[in-house]
A and B are shown apart, each in its own frame.
Chain A
């Protein structure tokens, strides 16, 4: 019997794989940065379900907010498209 939490965990795992693939596939770097933020938000949800709320708060604050902001500032300073020569 698969419980409710197991179903949510499986859905989060599928979402993690999809967002991680999206980070690699996207040619637009800002879209890739946003996908990385979504991936880290899903990871923090998984941490919370596994009963590690400290790590979940740190992951959500650092991974989803600060890292995305730093990536977007860096992309604005350089080129937006990947493979531009």
Chain B
């Protein structure tokens, strides 16, 4: 019974992966291109003319809204500083109390 379930799960996974491999499109050709005329190819406002980038999401994250990404990186830095401070103190106390 368990072996049958495992084989069935393997077959389903294989079918999904094979479908993905068969339906894969050539690199750089998205499936839906309705918005590309405005966001990518426009000669004045498009991302290709502004930043020479094909990926609009990355262009927004690191160029148009770079300050937001800076804030996110600073939040991560602050979180790591807090974790280091708290856990280092705990470790020293545990060593002394023995």
Contact = CB atoms under 8 A, between A and B. Distances in A.
State whether these chains interact: yes
* Range for the number of chain B residues in contact with chain A: under 10
A54 interface: yes
Interface string A45-59: 000000100100000
B57 interface: yes
Interface in B1-60: 31-32, 57
A51 B30 CA distance: 11
Query: Which applies to chain B's interface (DSSP): helix, strand, loop or mixed?
Result: loop
Contacts of B31: 51
Nearest to A53: B57
Nearest to A54: B57
Interface in A5-58: 51, 54
Contacts of A54: 57
B20 to A, nearest CB: 11
A76 B1 CA distance: 33
A47 B57 CA distance: 15
A54 B62 CA distance: 14
B55 to A, nearest CB: 9
A46 to B, nearest CB: 15
A75 B44 CA distance: 55
Interface of B: 31-32, 57
Closest 3 CB pairs between A and B?
A54-B57, A51-B32, A51-B31
3 contacts: A51-B31, A51-B32, A54-B57
